[in-house]
Structure 1
Amino acid sequence: MKHATRDYRHGPSKRKPYQRRSQVAPQPVAVESKLGFKRLMSLVVLLTVLLLLGYWIAQHFATQGLKSDSEKPASKILTSEVAKAPKVTMSQSPQLAAQVAPIVVESLPMPTVEQPKSIQYTFYEGLAETEVVVDAEPIPVKLADPYYIVAGTFGSEAMARQELERLSSAQEDVSLRLFKTERYYRLRAGPFEDRLELNKKRNVLRSLGADTLLMRVQK
């Protein structure tokens, strides 16, 4: 029976102690760090170039400004206009002086304006000179047809007599009479042919509280 032999030339193998992942220190990645550094440097260079370009453009427009082809200096325009103007010789100057004569403006006298005269008059003088034209025709005093004045209309004879006594007892001389119709009793005065007497009597009855009406006399 054969036994396995042991090789002691290299000595016993050493085992590494067990470590957790949290205890193991992370090893830096050299490639990723190099790429990040290059990107950062390129970004810094690009920003520097942009800032220099913007500063140069701002200085250029601030010193020279915007100029178009249509704009030209005023001195060049004036010199070109002077060059195009016709030259006047000494022989032509007397003729031009004779043609251009001085303009003389004569001052005209101002016309005199007569001020209106103030009119003064008294009231009576103006009233005598005033003419009043009346277009309205005067109302005739005499009536064309005689009229009665109705001082009240009642449904019973007792009420009509009571109103008659009230109007007769007043200080004014009021002459009324009882007029009976088919359905009611009426107090009336008249007839009147004069318009003035009619209005006077009607005003007296109104002052006593009577409700008056006018009724034409039937022919």
Structure 2
Amino acid sequence: MARQDYAQKRRRGTSASRSTPKRQPPKPPVRRKPWWPKALLTLAALVGLIYLLKILITTGPQTQTGTETQPARTPAQSPAPARPAESIQVEPALPAEPAVVTPEIPPPPDAPEARFDFYDILPRSEVQGPQNVYHSTPRDAPDQSRYLLQTGSFRAETDAERMRAELLLSGLPNVHTSRVEGDNGIWYRVRTGPFNTRTELNRARNQLANLGISPLPIPLD
């Protein structure tokens, strides 16, 4: 009986142990490491790499240019051979020509007949002019010939009268028209004058020139 009780207890214990599993202790929480140390390390590595590349880029072309820009050595120029001194030809000096001395000739003595007194010559040197001496005439002296000035000749009488009125307004003296019949037909002439002196004639010519008219002088007997 005692063995049966022991066996039953043992079975109960094993069944109880099998039926109720043991609780495992909870795992401690995992501690996460901070992220900023890794970020600092990667940033420092990038900065170092960039700096290294920059140094390589800047130092590379300098070494190449340093090797390329070395000045080429120019060969020493040999001195040019000295030219022989040119021989200078000296012409022999010509003998000086003797100076020609001309003897002084004394002036001939004055002849006694050539000597005259000034007061004896003066009365003899008087020149008597001709009696009929030319006398200049004054500028405004009346000329023997008189002139008319013909200012135009027209086929139509109205054209001649128009010029006559224009000349009268300009102050020309004795402006008149005349009717002339010839082989070419009838003409109407416009004239001014007569003028007794050259001064009056030239004054009338200047007035007509200012009007754009070139007159024709006609002498009167």
TM-score normalised by L of structure 1: 0.33
TM-score by length of 2: 0.33
Pair member with larger Rg? 2
